[in-house]
Amino acid sequence: MTNPTSSEALFPEFGLVTAEQWVAKIKQDLKGADLADLHWQSYEGITVAPFYTQSNVPQSGTLNTTPGQFPYLRTAKTDKNSWVNLQPIFSSGKGREAIDKAAAALTRGADGIHFIMENGYDFDVDYLIKEIDLTKVPVSYTVSTEAANFLHHLTTGLHRKRISLATLNGFLKCSPILSSESYKQLDMEHAMHLLEQTLDAPNFYALTINGSHFSNKGATLVQELAITLAIAVCYTNGLTQQGLPAESVFRNMQFHLTAGTNYFFEIAKFRAIRLLWAKVVEAYEVPTEAASALRVHASTSRWHQTTLDPHTNLLRHTTEMMSAIIGGVNSLEVEPFDSTFRQDNEFSERIARNIPIILKEEAYLDQAIDPAAGSYYIEYLTRQIALKAWALFQEIEAQGGFIPASNAGFIQELIKETSSQKFKDIASAKEVIVGTNKFPNPKEQHEYDPEKLIQSKHFDNTRGAYSYEVMRLATELHFRKKNRRPHALVVHMGTAIQEHIHATFAREFFTCSGFTTQVLKFEDVPTALAKVKDLDVQVIVMAAPERQFNEFAEAFAKGMRAQHRQGPALILADDPMQLKEELQANGFDDFLFRGCDTKEIITRIQERLGV
């Protein structure tokens, strides 16, 4: 059997390849192209290189630890990479229908249940105890209001049935932040009441720190971790001041994080949070084994979920759960792929439940603990994410901790700045959302009322795809009212054979916005004007090579306005810079190019269409 800590090479016949050799080979393959073009920077400020070698990874410290060993970078697991597959089920009123649904889900592959309820006071815990064996099944609860009353009903219900709290397995998640938008205050008294009721339940976590709230609004991985740590420390300080030992707080604490689509970064994130938490535990001078009690729950990302081409969510959810599992989470849940526009339904819930089952039963991801260990790239990312998250955490602490930083608007501005940049990158297609802002399905049928969906309070407008979805659904409304789709024509001027890069972007943009699109090429303005004169189009985009730009733009715009004073919207597929006012005076309505504010452009066009 191979020694897992041995430095002996598994295949000594293959020599080490140095970084210099990699660079030489890449430069040869690039044939003169700049090597720097292969580097890119993430939203976290991490520069990613095209390759990594042993020199990029620290050769001491946490990398030489084994699973189950402090600081638990490689998880506290020592046997298998097991996780609990929870099915989220929404509950209202007494929740009996939800409980029946949960009992059925447990016979169809779910390992446990996660009830999500608005009011915990009304939930029928006696019926729950009767229908589901809480001594064997992990059952968790998210309660928006009356969480303490719910927990009291649950524990007293178990007492009446002579069921020991020691057998209870699961977690409780309530809204620890009284105002989810302002993040102004944490309720220590409420948290203390929750923990006091579950001190005799070693496998039930009553204090869940909800980091997913921030990432689902567009926060970076680093921000998600740093804010989660800051809230956890804020709770720890508040509860210890009320007399609860720090070790008891740590034993009852769970982090709820999301798994996004940046696959390798997400793997590294789940590894980094355990490393950082171990550092926090050390600072409180409690036995380091307390860090092993940390439980990490992962859910699929709302930020990345789409309404358009919704089956692509199945692919996203699969890679998201893979990164969470490889990263070593303790439990996970998959949201149904169509949850943004459809009520709960058996088909999508079954598919969601089966994604983790396939990853276990057919991909065998439960067989290896921390299989990413030793990957130069992932070890590098783990360290970089940890360093940057710790630096941001310290910045929050320097302001007095989470509450003062929130009161000063620091937390809100962090997320607002990041999400705004992400929205801009999605609008300009710098960041791709497949099926939404690139590679749309032109034959997609919407099985819902677009107008009703857009106006619904349940339609999440904080998701990355939201702006594009509103554009496309507004176009769908135009189609349903006029019984025809708006048409965008891209006029490619000049003799260049290859389509202009901005023309390509314009065509993709209007296709993704639900328009039918067409590209026509002309070598001169008179021919173009004569051809498009009688076409029934709502938008005309003119594109030309840079060296022929001045030759065509002004003449084409003046000619179009002479033919159609109130005709189609006329857009130039280029950034005119200092010529913008002059070209607008000649007849252009807008300018479309990579990096522009496409949201404003499509809004003006939709207004023009009368949507």
Note the pLDDT tens digit of each residue in 112-121: 999 999 888 8
Number of other CB atoms surrounding residue 416 within 10 Å: 14
**Looking at the structure, do residues 237 and 144 belong to the same domain, yes or no?**
yes
Is position 441 within any domain?
A: no
Is position 187 within any domain?
A: yes
* Residues found in the chain: 611
Distance CA 516, CA 479 (A): 11
Distance CA 157, CA 475 (A): 54
Mean pLDDT for the chain? 90
- Which structure tokens are listed for 446? 């919407």
Distances (CA, A) of 241 to 176, 188, 235, 238, 341: 18, 10, 10, 5, 45
Is position 605 within any domain?
A: yes
Predicted confidence band at 7 (pLDDT cuts at 50, 70, 90)? low
Is residue 542 pLDDT above 80, yes or no?
yes
Could you give the residue ranges of the DSSP H alpha helices within 443-541? 450-455, 466-482, 501-512, 525-532
**Looking at the structure, do residues 105 and 251 belong to the same domain, yes or no?**
yes
The mean-pLDDT minimum among 85-89, 165-169, 473-477 falls in: 473-477
**Looking at the structure, do residues 213 and 127 belong to the same domain, yes or no?**
yes
Give the CA count within 13 Å in the CB-facing half-sphere of 565: 0
Q: Which residue has the tokens 């033919």?
A: 563
Peptide bond into 71 cis (omega under 30): yes
- Which structure tokens are listed for 510? 């209007």
Total domains in the fold of the chain: 2
Predicted confidence band at 182 (pLDDT cuts at 50, 70, 90)? very low
**Looking at the structure, do residues 233 and 343 belong to the same domain, yes or no?**
yes
**Looking at the structure, do residues 496 and 371 belong to the same domain, yes or no?**
no
Task: Please check whether residue 596 is in contact with residue 572, taking contact to mean a CB–CB distance below 8 angstroms.
Answer: no
Biggest distance spanned by C-alpha atoms of the chain: 90
CATH number of the domain where residue 510 is located: 3.40.50.280
Is residue 427 pLDDT above 80, yes or no?
yes
**Looking at the structure, do residues 374 and 258 belong to the same domain, yes or no?**
yes
**Looking at the structure, do residues 126 and 248 belong to the same domain, yes or no?**
yes
Using the 3D structure, point to which of 382, 406, 430 is the last residue of a domain. Answer: 406
Predicted confidence band at 594 (pLDDT cuts at 50, 70, 90)? confident
Range of the domain at 518: 484-609
Distance CA 500, CA 543 (A): 7
Q: What is the pLDDT of residue 597?
A: 74
Could you give the residue ranges of the DSSP H alpha helices within 252-375? 263-283, 312-326, 346-361
- Which structure tokens are listed for 421? 């940049």
Distance CA 611, CA 471 (A): 10
**Looking at the structure, do residues 392 and 513 belong to the same domain, yes or no?**
no
DSSP strand E in 428-583: where? Answer: 487-493, 516-522, 539-543, 569-572
**Looking at the structure, do residues 500 and 365 belong to the same domain, yes or no?**
no
Distance CA 326, CA 268 (A): 9
Using the 3D structure, point to which of 356, 385, 406 is the last residue of a domain. Answer: 406
Considering the entire predicted model, what is its pTM? Answer: 0.91
Distance CA 253, CA 530 (A): 71
Task: Please check whether residue 53 is in contact with residue 19, taking contact to mean a CB–CB distance below 8 angstroms.
Answer: yes
Is position 38 within any domain?
A: no
The mean-pLDDT minimum among 28-37, 124-133, 203-212 falls in: 28-37
Distance CA 87, CA 94 (A): 19
Is position 475 within any domain?
A: no
**Looking at the structure, do residues 381 and 500 belong to the same domain, yes or no?**
no
Distance CA 569, CA 474 (A): 17
Is position 71 within any domain?
A: yes
Is residue 9 pLDDT above 80, yes or no?
no
Q: Give the CA angle between residues 450, 456, 461 to the nearest 5°.
A: 90
- Which structure tokens are listed for 150? 């719910």
Distance CA 302, CA 316 (A): 11
For 229-238, how does the pLDDT look when each residue is reduced to its tens digit (9 = 90+)?
999 999 999 9
Is position 30 within any domain?
A: no
The mean per-residue pLDDT over the stretch 124-140 comes to: 97
Which own/partner pairs from 1-6 qualify as long-range (CB within 8 Å, at least 24 positions apart)? 4/66, 5/64, 5/66
Most confident of the following: 55-64, 68-77, 533-542: 68-77
Distance CA 42, CA 471 (A): 27
Residues near 486 by beta carbon (within 8 Å), at least 6 away in sequence: 475, 478, 479, 514, 515, 516, 538, 539, 609
The mean-pLDDT minimum among 36-50, 244-258, 572-586 falls in: 572-586
CATH number of the domain where residue 318 is located: 3.20.20.240
For 478-498, how does the pLDDT look when each residue is reduced to its tens digit (9 = 90+)?
888 888 888 999 998 887 766
Is residue 184 pLDDT above 60, yes or no?
no
Give, as one character, the DSSP assignment of residue 336: -
Is position 458 within any domain?
A: no
For 228-273, how does the pLDDT look when each residue is reduced to its tens digit (9 = 90+)?
999 999 999 999 999 999 999 999 999 999 999 999 999 999 999 9
Using the 3D structure, point to which of 359, 388, 406 is the last residue of a domain. Answer: 406
Residues near 424 by beta carbon (within 8 Å), at least 6 away in sequence: 430, 597
